[in-house]
Structure 1
Amino acid sequence: MNRILSARSLIPRARANLSTSSKCFDIAKVKRNQIRFQENNGKPIHLKGGPMDLTFTYLTMAFTFGSACYAFYGLSQLIMKK
């Protein structure tokens, strides 16, 4: 019973922390990002973040292709007679 009462006393503190943490964002930073991502420069939205976005995109494609090849290799090993 004590544990339930102590857990109930933590709930108001958690709500106070969550409600105050949502006010910490910078409005000017949001406006700058809106301008950067809305400009028409011919790039898709997932590449407008800069060169690291392009790097992560290519890295994700490489991992996906490698995983697909490894999956087909594993399936071919299961299909082949030993």
Structure 2
Amino acid sequence: MYRQLMGLRQLSRRTITSSARRPVENSVKEKQKLFQEDNGRPIHLKGGSRDALLYRATITLTVFGAGCVVYELFSAAMPKKPH
């Protein structure tokens, strides 16, 4: 039992550490250059094709959701007549 508790203690020490496993490259300067250059593109599309895809998906889901809300409101306002 003592051995299991010591193993658990050692595992918890390994998973909660403040040091990074590998050094992370600082890419803030490159991102600042990309987003601050004046190339005529809106800021939400300067990230490339991934940003364009996310933008289109967001617009599609928003329009679809608004259509569902309008449909539900209309169906609630006009209930079906019983036969």
Instruction: Give the TM-score range, shorter chain.
Output: 0.5 to 0.7
Question: How far apart, in 1, do the equivalents of 2:43 and 2:64 lie?
Answer: 25
Q: TM-score, normalised by structure 2?
A: 0.65
Question: How far apart, in 1, do the equivalents of 2:66 and 2:43 lie?
Answer: 26
**Aligned residue pair count:** 78
Determine the structure 1 residue equivalent to 2:66: 68
Q: TM-score, normalised by structure 1?
A: 0.66
Q: Does residue 1:47 correspond to 2:45, yes or no?
A: yes
Which structure has greater helix proportion?
Answer: 1
State the one-letter code of the partner of 2:66.
Answer: A
The CA deviation at 1:44 is 1.1
How do 1:5-16 residues align onto structure 2 when only pairs under 5 Å count? Answer: none
Q: Does residue 1:56 correspond to 2:51, yes or no?
A: no
The CA deviation at 1:19 is 9.1
Question: How far apart, in 2, do the equivalents of 1:71 and 1:64 lie?
Answer: 11
Question: How far apart, in 1, do the equivalents of 2:72 and 2:36 lie?
Answer: 44
The CA deviation at 1:26 is 3.0
The CA deviation at 1:71 is 0.5
Give unmatched runs, 5+ long, in structure 2. Answer: 1-16
Moved over 6 A (4+): none
Determine the structure 2 residue equivalent to 1:6: none
Give unmatched runs, 5+ long, in structure 1. Answer: 1-15
Structure with greater Cα Rg: 2
Determine the structure 1 residue equivalent to 2:28: 30
What is the DSSP-based 3-state SS (H/G/I as helix, E as strand, rest coil) of the residue aligned with 1:41? Answer: coil
